[in-house]
């Protein structure tokens, strides 16, 4: 997609639409303050976030002035699960002492 491959651009647009619809549905029901995206795809940063925000925000039932929604990537990216598992193990060891 970054090399302007037309097929990759179409796939990316479909991905944004599918992910965006999921976020829109969830946001319209539960009104969270933020969506934090993790996993490997989060490494794309603004390449992912800019079109995703452009898809999601106009489709929300309430205005951003009333209930703003932030869509961001997790700062730990794909390693979030590893950090969580390490923390869980450390907490378990502390409880056993």
Q: Which domains does the chain have, with CATH numbers?
A: 6-96 (3.30.420.40)
| Confidence (pLDDT) at 32 | 95
* Assessment of whether the complete model's pTM goes beyond 0.95: no
Rounded Cα–Cα distance for residues 75 and 17 (Å)? 24
Contacts within 8 Å (CB) and 24+ apart, 51-59: 51/12, 51/13, 51/16, 52/16, 52/19, 52/20, 52/23, 55/16, 55/17, 55/20, 55/24, 56/20, 56/23, 56/24, 56/27, 59/20, 59/24
Lookup: tokens for 73:
């990537």
| pLDDT tens, the chain, 97 aa long | 889 999 999 999 999 999 999 999 999 999 999 999 988 888 899 999 999 999 999 999 988 788 899 999 988 877 878 888 999 999 999 887 7
Distance CA 97, CA 95 (A): 6
């Amino acid at each position: 997609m970054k090399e302007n491959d037309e097929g990759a651009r179409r796939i990316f647009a479909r991905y944004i639409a599918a992910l965006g619809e999921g976020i829109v549905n969830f946001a319209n029901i539960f009104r969270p303050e933020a969506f934090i995206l993790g996993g490997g795809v989060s490494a794309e940063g603004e390449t992912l976030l800019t079109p995703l925000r452009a898809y999601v925000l106009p489709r929300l039932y309430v205005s951003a002035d009333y209930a703003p929604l932030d869509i961001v990537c997790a700062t730990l990216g794909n390693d979030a699960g590893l950090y969580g598992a390490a923390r869980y193990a450390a907490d378990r060891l502390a409880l056993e002492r």
